[in-house]
């Protein structure tokens, strides 16, 4: 199973590389890696397993964070309403791509965290509020998805990892908590 030891931290060059597209049919390695990434996110959200294996909670993980410079991300966003219900979004995306996005921007009011960043970096990370993405699943089927607000932010954070971008690259240097009046602040 993937643990925090497998996650590379800021300063590691792979986090600043542009990752390579994945080819289909998937190799066994790429298929298995996707499954392990999902397993990590689920474990990280389970209080007992997170405690037992000292995992930081995450809802997204990109292959470059495991020192694998490939365009694949795992997303595991729990359903905020009912406990133990179906997750809001649980999938591994291969060769994900933003097709279009809103003019409207949004940011998580509390800022963003990253499993590859062992420090609290305060500030608003302003992103597109709504995005339309395409991606391929494990079977090579192409999907198109429209997302908004928190899920859209999570996907953009993970997509940034595929292009060597860290969340704090977006934070306003002069005033980290600056966001224009029309930026939607997400709880």
Ligand X SMILES: CNC(=O)c1cccc(C)c1Nc1nc(N2CCN(c3ccccc3Cl)CC2)nc(N2CSC[C@H]2C(=O)NC)n1
Residues in touch with ligand X (CB under 6 A): 45, 57-60, 78, 108, 110-115, 120, 153-154, 157
- Closest C-alpha among 14, 50, 22, 48 to residue 140: 22
- Beta strand 127-128 with 184-186 is unpaired
Q: How far is the CB of 180 from ligand X (least distance, A)?
A: 20
The residue from 21, 35, 81, 158 that is catalytic is: 158
**Inter-residue long-range contacts of 109-112, CB under 8 Å, 24+ positions, other chains counted:** 109/185, 109/186, 109/187, 110/187, 112/153, 112/157, 112/167
- Nearer Cβ to ligand X (22/115): 115
Q: How far is the CB of 182 from ligand X (least distance, A)?
A: 21
Q: How far is the CB of 90 from ligand X (least distance, A)?
A: 12
Q: How far is the CB of 114 from ligand X (least distance, A)?
A: 5
Contact by Cβ (8 Å): 55, 43: yes
- The reply, when asked if residue 157 is annotated as ligand binding, is yes
Task: Tokens for 102, please give them.
Answer: 């809103």
The DSSP letter of residue 21 is P
Nearest residue to ligand X, scored by beta-carbon proximity: 57
Answer yes or no: 35 catalytic: no
- Nearer Cβ to ligand X (26/44): 44
- Beta strand 105-108 with 72-77 is unpaired
- Nearer Cβ to ligand X (71/157): 157
Please enumerate, by residue number, every residue annotated as part of a binding site for Fe cation: 114, 157, 161
Catalytic site positions: 158
């Amino acid at each position: 199973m993937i643990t925090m030891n497998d996650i590379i931290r800021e300063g590691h060059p792979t986090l600043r590389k542009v990752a390579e597209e994945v080819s289909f049919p998937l190799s066994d390695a790429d298929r298995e890696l996707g499954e392990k990434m999902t397993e990590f996110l689920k474990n990280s959200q389970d209080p007992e397993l997170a405690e037992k294996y000292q995992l930081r909670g995450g809802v997204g993980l990109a292959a470059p964070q495991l020192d694998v410079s490939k365009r694949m991300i795992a997303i595991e966003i729990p359903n905020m309403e009912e406990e133990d219900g179906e997750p809001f979004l649980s999938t591994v995306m291969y060769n994900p791509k933003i097709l279009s996005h809103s003019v409207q921007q949004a940011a998580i009011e509390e800022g963003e965290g990253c499993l590859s960043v062992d420090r609290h970096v305060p500030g608003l990370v302003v992103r597109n509020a709504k995005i339309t993405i395409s991606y391929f699943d494990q079977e090579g089927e192409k999907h198109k998805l429209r997302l908004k607000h928190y899920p859209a932010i999570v996907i953009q954070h993970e997509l940034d990892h595929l292009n060597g971008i860290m969340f704090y690259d977006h934070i306003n240097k002069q005033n980290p908590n600056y966001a224009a009046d029309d930026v939607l602040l997400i709880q």
